[in-house]
Amino acid sequence: MSDLGASALGLAFFTALAGTVAGLLGGLRKDPTWASVARRAVHIHFALVTIAIACLFAAFATLDLQLEYVAAHASRNMAVPYRIAALWGGQAGSLLLWLWMLAGYGTAAVLVNRRNSGLLPWVCGMLLLNSAFFGLLLNFVSDPFAKLAPSQLLSDGAGLNPLLQHPVMMVHPLGLYLGLVGFAVPFAFAFAAMASGELGTAWMRTTRRWTLWAWFFLSLGIMLGGRWAYEVLGWGGYWAWDPVENASFMPWLAGTAYLHSVMVQEKRDMLKIWNLLLIGLTYTLCLFGTMLTRSGLVRSVHAFAQTEIFGILFLGYVVTIAALFFSLLIWRAPELRARHQLESVLSREAGFVVNNWLFLAFLGIVFWGTLFPKVSEWLTGTEVLIGPAWFNSLVGFVALPLLLLTGIGPLIAWRRASGSNLRRQFLWPAGAGLVAGGLAGALAGLRGGVFPLLVWSVSGFVVGTIVQEYVRAVRARMRHGENPVTAVATLLRKNQRRYGGYIVHLGVVFIFIGIAGAAFNEERLENMSPGDTVTMNGYRLEYKTALPIPAQHYGGAVARLALYEGDRGVATLTPERRVYWLEQQPASIPSVYSTLNEDLYVILTAVEPDGSATVKLYRNPLVNWIWIGGYTFVLGTLLIMWPHPTAGGRSRSAEE
């Protein structure tokens, strides 16, 4: 079975190479024969990679310890679902998963757009060029089907990192990969538009939903990663500005800017260069983040082992792809000049331009902070690490204006806004912002500083904008005889992008509210004997006992603590301290009591011979609004993309 997988992977590499050449020849010569060869190469390549990944899945399911990769990431004591998910737990398997998704996206894009004869040869060529590079890595640098020598065979494997054996980690990487890889499709179409000279909006409209799906999956993957970190890593938080976290966040920032900016080109035929720049930057950062994670260039709990030749090859490819794309953009720039110019700084177009610059500023902060330790090491020989405090001190100056723009944008007219229009549009949202700020100040004061009050004031303004937009639209439809529920449903059906987008913005508001709550976090370290109690913000926590954990593949202790609110018992918290025998790895499994207002987060750090325990307590106000915001975010995105049948029987999504 493994030999079949290795052969399929080798054939897939050469198919991708041949298809790349055919696609480029078909585009340059406008030859339908070469274009047809390239399309067929895309389908054959996908079939071969599917065979390869199926063989590797089978090797994990049956625990084929002859394969070096299986022996390094699976073991007999792992449940079969985790054993299969271990496929993407290391470098070779994650690259194969990336390649398979890339081939799948390519096949789907070619099938859906097979009549687009002008762009398709270039699209096939670019997608297969990407596939050929990953095939090169998998066949010659990081082979998932490499076999151990007979003398190295063992009766069991090393197993997957215990921290990764969590239900969320079976989904989180898939979401990230579907997002990161998905941006290859709009990138390929943008490249094709510049290479072919078809510089209108066809490439952009063709890839609208491909981009939305990629952005949705990347957003979902990032949110799930934060949830996993909060539940498993035992440090009391959900985001640490870790380099690998940043590697997925940077393309998300660029992709979000693109999704906003592209609306101006559709509406006013402006920002063409901006849109090509942003989609090129998005996919380049997807590749760069993949290189960052898998080359060992930066230190991270999530990073893979360092391989020097791997990092050199990958960085060279990222630079080459970026140089090719942006050279084409420079070459085509004179043809991309907008027919229309900004007529006023008080216009929606101007707001989108400011939005683009703010996203790029945010991206620049994250990029520099992520690479600074390595840059400092190259320049001075000493690696200077940057902690979360550095990021937090800077990003607020960009994130808060971005949040404000989500409320301002819908209120400003296209082309030019008049003074009377602005007064009418801003009255109620501004009032909502002032009320929200006043209530927050009365309840919280300045204990957490000024920033949370500003966030909650701006959040009130944005919510006021969203409510006002819905109320006005619903009233207009009710004048035509519709009831409120039907009116909302009609709005979401006939103008999904606008009114679904407002729900996405509402999710972002909830996330900001939760993040601002971190200014009021409390943290305490307590050593407690049985019967001891500790109080925190109205809660009373009584330590009962600690018991050994009777598991086979790890040991440790679980503490039992009774939680009271006043005199009323509300929960029993059971944090664990584990040591995994095979991996010789300690882990703290927190226990969390959640309410809408806050979380009480308890970690067991040590159990002493006398039965006392050391526990770390966190009170995290409003943290659950981050997850509520994530659910709202997902709902809004799905509403945007939900297909609605038309009278002709075709869906709107198919037409778009």
Tell me the per-residue pLDDT of 312-340, one tens digit each, with 9 for 90 and over: 899 999 999 999 999 999 999 999 987 77
| Claim to verify: residue 552 and residue 513 sit in the same structural domain | no
pLDDT tens string 270-302? 899 999 999 999 999 999 998 888 776 666 555
Residue with tokens 């600074």: 372
| Claim to verify: residue 458 and residue 573 sit in the same structural domain | no
415: left (phi over 0), alpha (psi -120 to 50) or beta: left
pLDDT tens string 431-454? 999 999 999 888 887 787 899 999
Whether 534 is covered by a domain: the verdict is: yes
Report the sign of the C-alpha dihedral through residues 318, 324, 326, 329, in that order.
negative
Task: Please provide the average confidence, as pLDDT, over all residues in the chain.
Answer: 90
Whether 278 is covered by a domain: the verdict is: no
Percent of the chain whose predicted confidence (pLDDT) is above 90: 67
Mean of the pLDDT values across residues 76-100? 90
- Residue where a domain stops, chosen among 144, 160, 176: 160
Whether 311 is covered by a domain: the verdict is: no
| Total Cβ atoms within 10 A of residue 337 | 10
**Non-local CB neighbours of 6 within 8 Å, separated by 6+ positions:** 52, 143, 145
| Claim to verify: residue 435 and residue 457 sit in the same structural domain | yes
| Total Cβ atoms within 10 A of residue 105 | 22
Give the pLDDT score at 382: 84
Whether 368 is covered by a domain: the verdict is: no
Give the pLDDT score at 170: 84
| Claim to verify: residue 590 and residue 484 sit in the same structural domain | no
Residues in the chain: 656
| Claim to verify: residue 432 and residue 492 sit in the same structural domain | yes
Q: Write the burial class of residue 18 (CB in 10 Å: 0-12 exposed, 13-18 middle, 19+ buried).
A: middle
Q: Are 159 and 105 in contact (CB under 8 A)?
A: no
Q: Which two tokens stand for residue 494?
A: 């006939």
Residue with tokens 């004061």: 445
Q: Are 581 and 77 in contact (CB under 8 A)?
A: no
Is pLDDT above 70 for 303? no
- Residue where a domain stops, chosen among 139, 160, 181: 160
Whether 193 is covered by a domain: the verdict is: no
Q: Are 97 and 138 in contact (CB under 8 A)?
A: no
| Claim to verify: residue 609 and residue 504 sit in the same structural domain | no
What is the spatial distance between Cα 432 and Cα 498, in angstroms, rounded to a whole number?
21
| Claim to verify: residue 543 and residue 597 sit in the same structural domain | yes
| Claim to verify: residue 487 and residue 541 sit in the same structural domain | no
Whether 343 is covered by a domain: the verdict is: no
| Claim to verify: residue 453 and residue 514 sit in the same structural domain | yes
Residue numbers of the domain that contains 420: 395-519+631-655
Whether 387 is covered by a domain: the verdict is: no
Mean of the pLDDT values across residues 33-56? 97
Domain tally for the chain? Answer: 3
pTM above 0.85, yes or no: yes
Whether 194 is covered by a domain: the verdict is: no
| Claim to verify: residue 566 and residue 649 sit in the same structural domain | no
pLDDT tens string 199-232? 888 899 899 999 999 999 999 999 999 999 998 8
Out of 52-61, 405-414, 550-559, 599-608, which region has the weakest mean confidence (pLDDT)?
A: 550-559
Is pLDDT above 60 for 171? yes
Give the pLDDT score at 653: 39
Report the sign of the C-alpha dihedral through residues 50, 55, 60, 61, in that order.
positive
- Residue where a domain stops, chosen among 123, 142, 160: 160
Q: Are 460 and 437 in contact (CB under 8 A)?
A: yes
Percent of the chain whose predicted confidence (pLDDT) is above 70: 96
pLDDT tens string 545-595? 999 987 767 889 999 999 999 889 999 999 999 888 777 788 889 999 999
Report the sign of the C-alpha dihedral through residues 413, 418, 420, 422, in that order.
positive
Task: Kindly state the DSSP code that residue 645 receives in the 8-state scheme.
Answer: B
Give the pLDDT score at 40: 96
| Claim to verify: residue 20 and residue 123 sit in the same structural domain | yes
The more confident residue out of 322 and 1 is 322
Give the pLDDT score at 650: 43
| Claim to verify: residue 638 and residue 609 sit in the same structural domain | no
